[in-house]
Chain A
Amino acid sequence: MTVTIRTLNELLQPSHLPAHPLATQEYFVNMGPQHPISHGSLRLVLRLDGETVKEVIPVPGFVHRGVEKMCESLTPRQIVPYTDRLDYLSAFMNNWAITRVVETAAGIESNERIETIRTLMSELQRIQSHALWWGVTGMDLGAFTAFLYGFREREVISEIFEETVGARLTMNYIQPGGVMYDIHPNFVKRVKDVMAYMKPIIDEYDTLLSGNVILQERCRNIGILSPEKAIALGCTGPVLRASGVPYDLRKMENYGVYNKVDFNVVVGAVGDCWDRYYVRMQEMRESIRIVEQLIDSIPEGPTMTLRYNLPIEMPEGTYYSQVETARGVFGAFLVAEGKSEKPYPLHFRSPNYNNLWSVTALAPGWRVADIIAILSSLDLVIPDIDR
C-alpha cells in the first residue's frame, strides 16, 4: 500500500469541476467535530457525490493535550494517572501498558497476586467497555433503549471498581511494582454476583438488538474490511479480529496470568460491521469466562513490591511494551537516559488512531448513513486518538 501525504487544503479541492452547467458536482460535508457519532470531538470531512461517499478525511486533534510531552517531565509513577485519560474506557489496561514498560526497564518483579488482580481488573473493564460500546452503538443506530441498558451494566461494574479503586473512570490503579490498593474484602463476592448477573444480560442484549432486523440490515455486509487491508492499516483489537485475523496479545504476548486461563480468541468471518459487533459481544462472554476462572483462586501475597517515593532506576536504553486493551494494542515506547528516572522521549501507540484511519478504506462507496454504522463499529475513543 502506498501512502501519499497531502495537506488538508489539497484534500478539500473537488476532484473535478462541472463541464456542463447542469452537471452535478462533488461536494464536501463536515461530519463533526460536534456530531453525535464522533463521541467526542472528531471531524470527518466527507467528499460526497450525491449521497454516496467518495472519500473520508479524518481530521483529529481537537482534544490534543500533548500527553507524551508532559510525561517527559514526570516520574514513571506520575505518568500512570495521565494514561487514564487517553483511552478512558480502558484505563486499567493503559495503566498496565506504562507499568509493563517501566517494569521491564527497571527490572521490577511482580508476584502472582499482583498479576491476577491486574488481569481481573482488565477483564472486568473489558466487559464494562464493551457494554458501554454496545449501548452507544445502539444509540448511534437509532435504538436509545440500548444506550440506557448498556449504562445500567456499566454502573454495576463501576461500583466494584469504586469499592476497590476509589474511582469510576480515572483508575490510576496499576502501578509500577504492583497495584495501588489491595482488593476490597467484598471484591470476590461482588464480582461473582455481577458475573452471574451479566450472563443472562448479554443474552438480553442479543434479544434486544442483535437479533433485531433493523440492526441486521444496517450492519450486515456494510463496510467490509479485508484482512490484508486491516493488517496494512495497523488495525488491532476487535476490528482486526472481525476481519478474521486471530491476533490477540493476551494469547501472543503472554502477560498477566492469561496463560493460566482457558479462553478463545473470537474472530469474525467477513469483516463487516456485523462481525465487529458480534466479536465484541462474544468477547464479553469470553471475558466473563476469564474472570470466573480467576476469581476463586487469587493467590496470597503483597500487592506492592516497590517502596514508594524512591526513584525507579531505569538503565539507559529503549523499551517497548504493549497490552491488549478493549480496543486493540496499546503500546508504550520509552527511552531511558539512565541519568534521570524521567523518560525522554515517551511515545504511546494507541489502537484508536490506527482504527480510525481504517475508515478511509472502509467508507468509500457507502452512503452517509452507513458511515454512522461503520464508525460506531470501530468503537473510537477520541482522547486516545488525539492524545
Chain B
Amino acid sequence: MQIIENIYSILRSIGLVFMHAFHKRETVQYPDEKPYLAPRWRGRIVLTRDPDGAERCVGCYLCAVACPVGCIALQTTEDETGRRYPEFFRINFSRCIFCGYCEEACPTYAIQLTPDFEMCEYKRQNLVYEKEDLLISGPGKYPDYNFYRVAGLAIGGKGKGEAENESAPVDPRGLLL
C-alpha cells in the first residue's frame, strides 16, 4: 500500500506542474519587455533643474555628508548675482549603494533618485558621473518647486522681499526714528 501512496505523491507533483502549463506565463521577456518600476524606485541619481530651467543645486554639501559610502564629491561656487551652484558635481556610481539619503538630505529637491537601473559599464571609470552626465533638463518629481522663488536670498532677477509669501523688507532705522 505504501508504494502506491508513494507513486501517487510523485504523480501528484507531476500533475501540478503539468496543470501550470495552462496558467498565465510569469516570465517577462526582459530586454524587449521592460518591467514596471515604482516611482519611488531608488535607482540612477540625477540632478534636476527648477521650472525656469536653472540648476536647483545650491551646493550645500548635505548630500555628501549624508552619504554612507562617500561617493558624492562637489565644489561650490557663486555666480556674479550671488546664486550658488556646484562648480563640479561628481558621483561615483561604482561606490553608490542607492540608499536614498542624498535625496532625503537635499533641501532644494535637486538630487533625485530615478526608476532606472540599467547603467552597467565595462570600465569602472565610466561609472564616475560628472555634472553634465547627472543634470537632466526637467524638474523631476517636484515639477513646481523653485527654491529661489521661496527663499529670502536676493539673487539676480529677484531682490529682497520679492519671494513668495515674503513681505517687503522693513527699514529698522526708519522705525526707530
Q: A143 — nearest CB in chain B belongs to which residue?
A: B13
Residue numbers in A under 8 Å from B5 (CB-CB): 213
- A163 located at the interface, meaning its Cβ lies under 8 Å from any Cβ of chain B in the complex: yes
Interface size grouping (class) on chain B: 20 to 34
- A66 located at the interface, meaning its Cβ lies under 8 Å from any Cβ of chain B in the complex: no
- A340 located at the interface, meaning its Cβ lies under 8 Å from any Cβ of chain B in the complex: no
Which of A166, A212, A214 has a CB less than 8 Å from the CB of B41?
Answer: A166
If A81-B68, A152-B26 touch, whether A166 touches B42 (CB-CB below 8 Å) is: yes
Residue numbers in B under 8 Å from A216 (CB-CB): 9
Q: A161 — nearest CB in chain B belongs to which residue?
A: B38
Q: Mark A153-181, 1 if CB is under 8 A from B, else 0.
A: 00100010011111100101000000011
- A228 located at the interface, meaning its Cβ lies under 8 Å from any Cβ of chain B in the complex: no
Question: Shortest CB–CB separation between residue A70 and chain B, in angstroms?
Answer: 9
If A152-B26, A164-B40, A166-B42 touch, whether A180 touches B13 (CB-CB below 8 Å) is: no
Question: Shortest CB–CB separation between residue A242 and chain B, in angstroms?
Answer: 22
Question: Shortest CB–CB separation between residue B175 and chain A, in angstroms?
Answer: 34
Which of A81, A159, A165, A308 has a CB less than 8 Å from the CB of B97?
Answer: A81
- In the complex, are the beta carbons of B40 and A308 less than 8 A apart? no
- In the complex, are the beta carbons of B99 and A212 less than 8 A apart? no
If A163-B40, A166-B113, A172-B99 touch, whether A204 touches B16 (CB-CB below 8 Å) is: yes
- A82 located at the interface, meaning its Cβ lies under 8 Å from any Cβ of chain B in the complex: yes
- In the complex, are the beta carbons of B16 and A165 less than 8 A apart? no
Q: Mark B24-57, 1 if CB is under 8 A from A, else 0.
A: 0010000000000110111000000000000000
A164 to B13, CA, bound (A): 36
- B101 located at the interface, meaning its Cβ lies under 8 Å from any Cβ of chain A in the complex: yes
Q: Mark B64-93, 1 if CB is under 8 A from A, else 0.
A: 011010000000000000000000000000
Q: Most chain-B CB neighbours within 10 Å: which of A152, A163, A213?
A: A213
Residue numbers in A under 8 Å from B167 (CB-CB): none
- In the complex, are the beta carbons of A170 and B26 less than 8 A apart? no
Question: Shortest CB–CB separation between residue A2 and chain B, in angstroms?
Answer: 42
Q: A75 — nearest CB in chain B belongs to which residue?
A: B68
A211 to B13, CA, bound (A): 9
Interface size grouping (class) on chain A: 35 or more
Question: Shortest CB–CB separation between residue B20 and chain A, in angstroms?
Answer: 8
- In the complex, are the beta carbons of B40 and A74 less than 8 A apart? no
Q: Mark A64-81, 1 if CB is under 8 A from B, else 0.
A: 000000000010011111
- A309 located at the interface, meaning its Cβ lies under 8 Å from any Cβ of chain B in the complex: yes
- In the complex, are the beta carbons of A309 and B16 less than 8 A apart? no
Residue numbers in A under 8 Å from B42 (CB-CB): 166-167
- B58 located at the interface, meaning its Cβ lies under 8 Å from any Cβ of chain A in the complex: no
- CB within 8 Å of B: which A75-101 residues: 77-82, 85
A207 to B6, CA, bound (A): 13
Residue numbers in A under 8 Å from B120 (CB-CB): none
- In the complex, are the beta carbons of A211 and B12 less than 8 A apart? yes
If A162-B37, A165-B40 touch, whether A212 touches B9 (CB-CB below 8 Å) is: yes
- A208 located at the interface, meaning its Cβ lies under 8 Å from any Cβ of chain B in the complex: yes
If A166-B40, A212-B10 touch, whether A172 touches B62 (CB-CB below 8 Å) is: no
Question: Shortest CB–CB separation between residue A151 and chain B, in angstroms?
Answer: 9
Q: A residues engaging B (CB < 8 A)?
A: 74, 77-82, 85, 143, 145, 152, 155, 159, 162-167, 170, 172, 180-181, 184, 204, 207-209, 211-214, 216, 308-309
Can you name 20 A-B pairs with beta carbons within 8 Å? A74-B68, A78-B68, A80-B99, A81-B99, A82-B68, A143-B13, A145-B13, A162-B37, A162-B38, A170-B98, A181-B40, A204-B16, A207-B12, A207-B13, A208-B13, A212-B10, A213-B6, A213-B9, A213-B10, A309-B62
13 further A-B contacts with Cβ under 8 Å, apart from A85-B97, A155-B26, A181-B40, are: A74-B68, A78-B101, A81-B101, A152-B26, A163-B38, A166-B40, A167-B42, A180-B104, A184-B38, A213-B5, A213-B9, A213-B10, A308-B104
Q: B residues engaging A (CB < 8 A)?
A: 5-6, 9-10, 12-13, 16-17, 26, 37-38, 40-42, 62, 65-66, 68, 97-101, 104-105, 113
